[in-house]
Structures are given as structure tokens and as C-alpha cells.
A and B are shown apart, each in its own frame.
Chain A
Amino acid sequence: MVRSTPLPLRIASRVFLVAVAVFMLGPLAVVVGAAFTTSRFLSFPPTGFSLQWFAEALSDATYIAPFLFSLQVAVATAAATAVLGTLFALGIARHSIPGSGVLQAIAMSPLTMPSIIFAIAMLQTVSQVLGGSASWILVLAHVIVTVPYVIRTVLGVIARSDSFTEEAARTMGARWWQRYWHVLLPICRPGIVAGAFLAFIVSFDDAVLALFLRTPQFETLPLAIYGQLEFSASPTVAAVSTMSMALTAISILAIEKIVGLGKVFS
């Protein structure tokens, strides 16, 4: 790599990086900061330091039920997506199916579809066919929008692996189910896990599909926060948001450890 970048440009690019990082992370930091305030009103920088709003959030039914519901939806989505996406990636990568490029493009298309359009389409169909939404409908919608992530991460792992391992396993006497169990799935595992984490985050944080497909009985955590924001934002909401962000951050670090962020996101 050429290192002979002129000094003024080097300084300018450092300043630029810091400015962008502040711009990108600032709003998140503000929410975290506001959660530790001692005042009853939202303020930043926080006045004093207290954990009372976390305690409040953890004992408030307004957030506990939505949190548990979001968790269930996200776990169900991640599990279903991991299985389906892995099967699809294996089918595309290991065999020369005619038109596999087209199949892959179709499977990735939910990524480019604006989610509000998919949301209205889902709501419209569901209310026509079933008369209304249900929590499994939300999981189904989340599976559709997250399956591309798993396909991408698993295909990435397969592309970087030795393409002869399966044939080698055949010559060593492995039957088809042994090849899946002992060779293909272990090789794909980092991609499957990273994809499942991504699916979990996307599902857990989704607000658009959840807004359209919500049912009176169940509310997701982002909707609970959204409702509070429209009504009146309090330090408790900041505390809930902070905990939700912590979950996201842990998942991202897990993905970075397992396969590396650069490989998943480009």
C-alpha cells in the first residue's frame, strides 16, 4: 500500500473519520447517557449518575412483555432462517442448477424491496386470506427479509472453503447423510451462526413490519418504545433502549469474532 499520503490530507482524513464517527455514534451515545440521569425528565448531558431508570424499566410491565415477545419472534426467525437459508445456499453452491443465478437473485430480492411496500403487501394479503395478522405472520415476514443474510453468509463461507472436500469425503466412503453431517454443515457453521445472529438483530429491531402486522395482543419492544416516544419520552425509555442496544452490540461483536464484519457486510 502506498504510504506516501501528504500530511495535510492525512490530518484531514483523521479529522473526517472522527467527525463521521461522532455523527454516527452520537445519537446512540446520547440515548445511553440520558438513561443514567437522576432527573425525572430526559436530559443530556445527564444530571448526576443513577441506575434507577434501569431498575424501573426492569420492573415495568410496559416493557417486559414486549421484550419477551420480541425475543421470541427474533429467536424463531433466526432459527427458521438459519435452516432455510443454509439449505438454499447449499443447493445453489454445490450443484450446477440451471438458472441458479436467477434463483439467487430472487431469493435476495427482499433486501432491495422497501420494507413498507412489503409490509403493506403482507397486511393486505393476510387480512384478505386470514382476516387478520398473527404473531406467526410477523415471524414469516421476518424470515422473508432475513433469509438473504443467511444465504449470503453461508455462500461466503462455502466460497472460501476447499471445493473438493465433499468429493474427498465420498472417496473416503461417506454416504450422503454423513457428508451433510460430518462435512458440509461443519464447514458452513460459521456462516450459519453469523447469519442467524444477523437475522436475530434485524428481527429484534424491526419496527416497520411490526407496525403493520401488529396484533392487539402482542407488541414488540421497538413498538413499545415508539409508542412512548410519540406520547412522552422518559429516562425509562432511554434505559430500555440502552439495554436493547447492548443486545445488538453483543450480537455484532459475536459476528465480528465468528466471521469478521467485513466479510458479512460487503
Chain B
Amino acid sequence: MNKSRTEPWLLVLPVMALLVIAFVIPVASSLIASFTSTGSPGFTLANFSDFFESSVHLTASARTLRMAFIQTIASILIAVPLAYIMSRLSARARVVMMIATILPLMTSVVIRTFGWVILMGPSGPLARIPGFLELSNSHQGLLGTELGVNIAMVQVLVPFAVLSVLGVINGIDVRLQEASRTMGASFLRNFWHVVLPLALPGIVSGATLCFALSISSFITPNLIGGAQLPVIGAFIYQDATVNGDLPFAAAQAMLMLMAVLITIAATNRLASSRMK
């Protein structure tokens, strides 16, 4: 009987040990490292003051946040109706849409962005659409523009949003919707008054996830936006690998983490006050 009490702990121990060694400790140690400097020993706030005094970094931060905001809104606007429609499709059609959602999700972000690079270039297929070049940067097509980055990023983010919304919508009792329909609610009113409020937790978590993924991305912004439109992720990557200033990179990562945590806390509070 004693064995049954130690057995479960032995089962969870390997993962827990690994998480502590290779996840908790590294994140904690990079938090500590963000308060050190390559130049001087001991505790310092130099990394953070450097960051907030650098107009390049502040501009990039504003750009990162602005684009993350736009991309999150756009992704949710696509994902919510998509998930609702998917939940009502026949099993076969749902599998097709599921694959259409998951295949891009599981494809390397490098390859997906590659597709957009071909599409958006000045001689790409999109350039044949009248007015396209006027709308974009005429020498590079949509490459090098925030619009281009946003479009490509939304394609990256939509699957995440769809899956979190779908998880909640699938959990809504179909009979509840039927009940509301038999009580005279129209299709749209049913969506607005029954489905949407019940799906709100999924929408909130999906939005939070999109925002976190967006502000931390740098591969797509790099390949599409290029050097003219740097995002914070690109600075972190540069400082960590090219400039070899790990403490400064860590400090920026910690600021990013702070932004993510604040967003999670704020949206959760907003959502729970709405649901009361």
C-alpha cells in the first residue's frame, strides 16, 4: 500500500526535474542576468535605463505593440466566425477546415513567410492586382511595409485563435442554442446573445495568446519588414547572438515577459468583470 503513494511521484518526477533544471532555473537566471552588466560587476539597472533612453528601442517597442494589437484584433475577427461556422459543419467538412488550419500552424514559420515573400514581392502575383503597387511600397511591393508584416503575421496567428475559440464553442451545449432558436432568436441573435458570451473565455485566451506570440515574433517581421522596420524580438536576437550582450538581451526579454503578463492579467480582469 505504501508503494502506491510513492509511485505517482516517481512518475511525475522526471518531467518536474527537467522543468526545474531546463526551464525554471534558466528563466530565473536570465531574470537575474538582466540586472547585471557585461561592463561592471554587481547589481545594476543599466540595461533598463539604456533601453528606455534609446529612441531606436522605444520606437521599435511602440511598433511591436502597435502591430501586435492590430494583428490580434484581426486574428480574432477572423477566428471567431470561423470557429462558429466550423463547429456547425458536417464532420467531413470540419476535418478539411481543421487541416486547412493546422497544416499552416505546423509548417515552419520560415517556410510560411517564404510564401508571403514570393506573394508580396514587386513582381509577385499580388502585384498584378490593380492598385496594389500604389497601395504598397512601389519598389518592394508589400515587403518593407507594416501592412505586409501584419498580413503575414495574421496568417501565423489565426490557427492559434481558432483553436482556442473552437475549444470553447465545441463545449457549448447544442441544445442551448436550439433552445434559443426555438424561443425565436434568429441566427444572428443566437450568435450574438448565446454563442458569443459563452465563447468569451476562449476568445480572451486566444487573444492573449496571439498578442504574446506577436510581440515575441521576429522571423516573419525580419523577412518581410526587413531592417527598416525592426521589432523588439529582432533586437533581442541581435544583442544575444551578434553583439554578444546577453544581459541586455535578457533585460529586453524580461520587459517583453512583463508586457505579456500585464496583458494576461488585464484581459482576465476585463473578461471576468464582463461575465458578471
Any A–B CB pair closer than 8 Å: yes
| Interface set of A (CB-CB < 8 Å, partner B) | 1-2, 4-6, 9, 13, 16-17, 20-21, 23-31, 34, 42-45, 84-85, 87-88, 90-92, 94-95, 97, 103, 106-107, 109-110, 112-118, 120-128, 140-141, 143-144, 147, 151, 176, 201-202, 204-208, 211-212, 222, 225-226, 229-230, 233, 237-238, 241, 244-245, 248-249, 251-252, 256, 261-262, 265-266
Separation in Å of the B2 CB from the closest CB of chain A? Answer: 13
Q: Which size bracket describes the interface of B in this complex? A: 35 or more
Q: Contact between B15 and A84 (Cβ–Cβ < 8 Å)?
A: yes
Question: Do residues B108 and A207 form an inter-chain contact, with CB atoms below 8 A?
Answer: yes
Q: Does B271 contact A (CB under 8 A)?
A: no
B binding-site residues for A, Cβ under 8 Å: 3-4, 7-12, 14-16, 18-19, 22-23, 25-27, 29-30, 33, 78, 81-82, 85, 88, 94-95, 97-104, 106-119, 123-125, 152, 155, 158-159, 163-164, 166-167, 170, 174, 177-178, 181, 187-188, 209, 212-213, 215-219, 222-223, 233, 236-237, 240-241, 246, 249-250, 253-254, 256-257, 260
Q: Is the CB of A225 within 8 A of B257?
A: no
B12 touches A24 (CB 8 A): no
Is A85 a contact of B15 with CB atoms below 8 Å?
Answer: yes
Q: Which residues of B contact A126 (CB under 8 A)?
A: 26
B89, closest chain A residue (CB) = A17
Give bound CA distance, A265 to B25, whole Å: 29
Do the beta carbons of A1 and B88 come within 8 Å of each other? yes
- B104 and A30 contacting across the interface, CB-CB below 8 Å: no
Interfacial chain B residues near A2, Cβ < 8 Å: 177-178, 181
15 more CB-based (< 8 A) A-B contacts, given A95-B7, A205-B107: A9-B187, A20-B100, A26-B119, A27-B114, A87-B15, A97-B9, A106-B19, A114-B213, A116-B236, A123-B240, A151-B15, A176-B7, A222-B108, A226-B219, A261-B99
Chain A residues touching B, majority SS = helix
Q: Tell me whether A107 and B100 are in contact (CB under 8 A).
A: no
CB distance from B257 to the nearest CB of A (A): 5
A182 CB → nearest B CB, Å: 17
Contact of A23 among B98, B155, B178, B213 (CB under 8 A): B155
Q: Tell me the complex Cα distance, A87–B179, Å.
A: 43
* List of B residues within 8 angstroms of A265 by Cβ: 98, 102, 163
Min distance, Cβ B47 to any Cβ of chain A, angstroms? 13
Partner of B236, one of A30, A110, A120: A120
Q: Is the CB of A121 within 8 A of B216?
A: no
